[in-house]
Amino acid sequence: MPDLKKLHEAVIEGNWKAAAAVTEAAIAEGVAPLTIVTGYLVPAMDEVGRRFECEEYFVPEMLLSARAMKASMEIVRPLLKATGAEPVGRVVIGTVKGDLHDIGKNLVASMLEGGGFEVIDLGADVAPERFIEAAATRNAGLVALSALLTVTMTSMKTTIDAFQAAGLRGKVKIMVGGAPVTQQYADAIGADGYSESAAAAVALARKLVAV
Amino acid sequence: MRLKLISCEVLFREMCDACAHSPHQVDPEFLPKGLHDLGGKPMAKKVQEAVDRTPEGVFEAILLGYGLCGNGLDGLTARHTRLVLPRAHDCIALLMGSRERYQRYFERNPGTFYRSTGWLERGKGLQQLTHDTRGFDESLEALIRKYGEDNGRYLYQEMTRYRSHYRKLTFIETGLEAGGKFIAEAAAEAQENGWSFERLPGDLAWLRRLVEGDWAEAEFVVALPGQRIMASYDNGVLRVQA
């Protein structure tokens, strides 16, 4: 029986080869794909987030942990689909129009995936119409908007207004984040939630899809 | 008037030029570049500390050589002396001479990396100030040394990919660029990254109005003692709270 604690360790340590190897062995031994995600990947990424909060981990460490988590998910994802297991939620994520910053958004996307979400990542400089199209066609209940500049933050409002104009505002929860974003701003533009960090984003996402 | 100026060092040359031409006596103080890397709240704390160090009864106003700067000026409180802050998102707007010009240029030129004299020569060898930015300026060799060949390469790739998202480097020229060294350096940086290069004439008039005491409501917020400067989330960028 593979020691799945080694998978947890591999993610924490950012060792993607070990993560993949333990995952393969576990699947071969009959461990359920869902167990791998909820029992090991999710807690490991939660721990990574915690370490970033306490400034033990920095962006490079988070990127490496995400890489290890993704290596495991590569193996697990098709198996999960085959079992018909539903993800915790479906989230469309992107950096808003005019803004090219994406590392923070990428980290959140990785952590959401590690948290059991199906993530549709639209990249950066995403126009409101693309968010709407993706949410509608992929049946996503959650939209996550990122911006890193106060200059581009207004695109968050435009995006939310576009969902409203398209008659789809009631079908999705919209959460916002990024360095200059505040709870105050989120409230002012009618977002459903704001999170201050990648780890907090996962917790918020879970809360929003549970409603 | 006797005025105190607290400014980011990125605007060093431009501010010194403005102060030298002002009819008022301006005492400048420059804070390190990179405060905005700390994030809004920590930067705001540092700027407030600088404001609070200003002695009472000496100056008629404290001028701030900043914009909102990623919320680094959000919440700044005037103590005994009024505060004056330009209604700018950041220093790029200041160098361009108006927030409308910046907005227009920004929207028409997505993927632009901005440079000026201060952005090129100030803050070199800056210690990484925060865990949000640690690792971003490291070389491939340094990353490999720290994380091994495989992970090191991966990190370098991930952390420099933003460069391919940018298409252009725009150097904002204000006429203060002695010799051609700034233009040459900016052009070289553009070429190194595979970006196109544009020289954009800047406009120092807004900065001059700051130190000349010409504080029109449309261009500046003025916070009287006890009032706070806040982000307004609208076209005016900033507002004052009693």
Cβ-based contacts of A107 with chain B (< 8 Å): none
- Whether residue B128 is predicted with pLDDT greater than 60 in this model: the reply is no
Q: Provide the whole-model pTM.
A: 0.88
Point out the domain boundary residue: A83, A108, A125.
Answer: A83
Say which CATH number the domain at A75 has. 1.10.1240.10
Query: What pLDDT is stored for residue B36 in this prediction?
Result: 80
pLDDT tier at B132, thresholds 50, 70, 90:
low
**What DSSP element (H or E) covers B47?**
helix B40-52
* ipTM here: 0.86
Say which CATH number the domain at A152 has. 3.40.50.280
**Mean pLDDT, chain B, integer:** 93
Query: What pLDDT is stored for residue B125 in this prediction?
Result: 63
pLDDT tier at B109, thresholds 50, 70, 90:
very high
Whether residues A98 and B110 touch (CB distance < 8 A) is answered with yes
**Mean pLDDT, chain A, integer:** 93
The residue of chain B nearest to residue A186, with distances taken between CA atoms, is B233
Cβ-based contacts of A60 with chain B (< 8 Å): 134-135, 143, 146-147, 155, 159
Q: A204 and A117 in one domain?
A: yes
CA distance B211 to B52: 20
- Whether residue B130 is predicted with pLDDT greater than 70 in this model: the reply is no
More confident residue, B125 or A109: A109
Cβ neighbour number for residue B27 with a 10 Å cutoff? 15
Which residues have CB under 8 Å from A17's CB, separation 6+?
A71, B150
- Whether residue A152 is predicted with pLDDT greater than 80 in this model: the reply is yes
**Contact B128/B159 with Cβ under 8 angstroms?**
no
Whether residues B90 and A55 touch (CB distance < 8 A) is answered with no
For residues B158-184, give the mean pLDDT: 90
Point out the domain boundary residue: A83, A103, A130.
Answer: A83
Cβ-based contacts of B159 with chain A (< 8 Å): 59-60, 63, 103
- Whether residue B50 is predicted with pLDDT greater than 80 in this model: the reply is yes
The residue of chain A nearest to residue B146, with distances taken between CA atoms, is A60
Q: A9 and A64 in one domain?
A: yes
Whether residues A60 and B103 touch (CB distance < 8 A) is answered with no
Whether residues A59 and B132 touch (CB distance < 8 A) is answered with yes
**Contact B234/A184 with Cβ under 8 angstroms?**
no
A63-115 residue pLDDT tens? 999 999 999 999 998 998 888 888 899 999 999 999 988 888 998 998 898 88
State the burial class of residue B25 (Cβ atoms within 10 Å of its Cβ: 0-12, 13-18, 19+): exposed
For residues B98-127, give the mean pLDDT: 89
Q: A194 and A99 in one domain?
A: yes
Beta bridge partners of A173: A142
CA distance B42 to B39: 6
Name the nearest CA neighbour of A175 among A148, A200, A150: A200
CA distance A13 to A30: 25
Q: A171 and A67 in one domain?
A: no
For residues B218-233, give the mean pLDDT: 97
A26-37 residue pLDDT tens? 999 999 998 999
Give the nearest partner residue to B166 out of A58, A100, A185, using CB atoms.
A100
- Whether residue B131 is predicted with pLDDT greater than 80 in this model: the reply is no
- Whether residue B133 is predicted with pLDDT greater than 80 in this model: the reply is no
CA distance A180 to chain B (A): 5
Lookup: tokens for B139: 């070389």
Q: A103 and A53 in one domain?
A: no
Which residues have CB under 8 Å from B4's CB, separation 6+?
B26, B27, B29, B54, B58, B59, B61, B62, B63, B81
Interface of A with B (CB under 8 A): 14, 17, 52, 55, 57-60, 63-64, 67, 98, 100-103, 106, 124-125, 149-151, 153-154, 179-180, 182, 185, 188-189
Point out the domain boundary residue: A17, A50, A83.
Answer: A83
Calculate what percentage of chain A has a pLDDT beyond 70.
99
- Whether residue A135 is predicted with pLDDT greater than 90 in this model: the reply is yes
Q: A191 and A94 in one domain?
A: yes
Query: What pLDDT is stored for residue B124 in this prediction?
Result: 72
Lookup: tokens for A25: 């062995």
**What 8-state DSSP symbol labels residue A169?**
G
Q: A143 and A164 in one domain?
A: yes
Whether residues A98 and B68 touch (CB distance < 8 A) is answered with no
Report yes or no: B56 at the A interface, CB cutoff 8 Å: no
Q: A38 and A109 in one domain?
A: no
Query: What pLDDT is stored for residue B129 in this prediction?
Result: 52
Q: How many domains does chain A have?
A: 2
For residues B140-159, give the mean pLDDT: 94
Residue A101 — φ and ψ, nearest 5°? -75, 130
CB-side exposure of A143: number of CA atoms within 13 Å? Answer: 31
In angstroms, what CA-CA distances link B113 with A194, B120, B165, B228? 28, 12, 10, 32
A155-187 residue pLDDT tens? 999 999 999 999 999 999 999 999 899 999 999
HEC-encoded secondary structure of A39-98:
HHHHHHHHHHHHHHHCCCCCHHHHHHHHHHHHHHHHHHHHHHHHHCCCCCCEEEEEEECC
**Contact B21/B208 with Cβ under 8 angstroms?**
yes
CA distance B174 to B13: 10
Range of the domain at A166: 90-210
Name the nearest CA neighbour of A44 among A74, A75, A67: A67
For residues A14-25, give the mean pLDDT: 97
A–B interface: beta-carbon pairs under 8 A: 83
pLDDT tier at B167, thresholds 50, 70, 90:
very high
Four-point Cα dihedral B189, B193, B199, B205, nearest 10: -70
CA distance A156 to A162: 10
CA distance B217 to B232: 14
Calculate what percentage of chain A has a pLDDT beyond 90.
76
For residues B165-194, give the mean pLDDT: 93
Q: Using alpha carbons only, what angle is made at residue B100 by residues B97 and B104, rounded to the nearest 5 degrees?
A: 110
Query: What pLDDT is stored for residue B159 in this prediction?
Result: 86
